Amino acid sequence: MIIDYGSRPPVPAFGPKGAQHLARYRQVYSSSESAAEALQGDLEGYLAEYDKANVSHICVKARDLETTYGWRIRNEDVAEFCQSQGPRFIGFAGVDPNKGMTAVRELDHAIRNLGLRGLNLQCFEHKMAINDRRMYPLYAKCIELDIPVNIHCSINFATSTLMRFGHPSLLDEVMVDFPELRVCASPPGFPWVHELIGVAWRHANVSIGLVAVRPKYLAVAGSGYEPLLQYGRTVLKDRIIFGSAYPLGPIGRAIDEIRSLPIDDDVRHLWLYDNARRFLGLPLETAA
């Protein structure tokens, strides 16, 4: 059984049209995106790939960047997609912290009324650091609603904003102030991988998402990702969460590369399924 923590369905409501700030991403991931589109380029092929791989749940995420880039994946569209596809899909809300209390109210509505089950914050797209005080009302609301939050914690390739907005040390400060907050930091910290490992080791409520990176690089010397393999199969084995990041790459290829890593079967099960199940609050009997 597998849970895919990060995926963007190939339907118009989730499409990147209008997201000009992500043009550099299209260059960096061009070959992987082409391979993904060739294999799972429409909704039918996308769903069939998950059936083939025995994936029980898939997380899809909204984003609201209206004040910075004039673009969004609407909460309503994410909720509608999840409802149309059934309980297999789990939606995360996206709100714009630049909107102040409006964002807090939108998050509350998305969870209580639309049925979404987490918050997605790509802080670099809001041109804010993870520890910006404008984020704090949202972190407090997540604790009140008892929902997890996905926080971009890594390099970004949008050169109209700053790379340092995703530094793991900023997440450390947030966790000191909000120890009850449940966070998945993804992608997994590059080029500050050791720092993110340190943050997760310090704070039991921080997980690390293997998202937007090919898993095979964890076993490649000099890649910068090697520490994730060492710590992820030992002291942090219950905090690593898999996400294919489709359409940044093919779904099946990402799963196969996890299966090919030199880790024990019980650790592989944690990475591919059980860590995400616990993070998302899925009962074992429901997910199985």
The CATH number covering residue 90 comes to 3.20.20.140
Number of domains the chain contains:
1
Q: Which tens digit of pLDDT belongs to each residue from 20-64?
A: 899 889 888 988 888 888 877 799 999 999 999 999 999 999 999
| Residues 166/154, Cβ–Cβ less than 8 Å | yes
| Residues 64/56, Cβ–Cβ less than 8 Å | no
Quote the domain boundaries for residue 15: 2-287
First to last CA, the chain: 7
Q: Is the pLDDT of residue 287 over 50?
A: no
Q: What is the per-residue pLDDT for 288? A: 44
Q: Is the pLDDT of residue 286 over 80?
A: no
Q: How would residue 92 be classed by pLDDT, with cut points 50, 70 and 90?
A: very high
Q: What is the per-residue pLDDT for 194? A: 98
Q: Is 195 exposed, middle or buried (0-12, 13-18, 19+ CB in 10 A)?
A: middle
The model's pTM: 0.95
Q: What is the per-residue pLDDT for 26? A: 87
Q: How would residue 285 be classed by pLDDT, with cut points 50, 70 and 90?
A: low
Across residues 102-126, what is the average pLDDT? 98
**CA 207 to CA 199: how far, in whole Å?**
9
How big is the chain, counted in residues? 288
| Residues 130/166, Cβ–Cβ less than 8 Å | yes
Across residues 129-146, what is the average pLDDT? 98
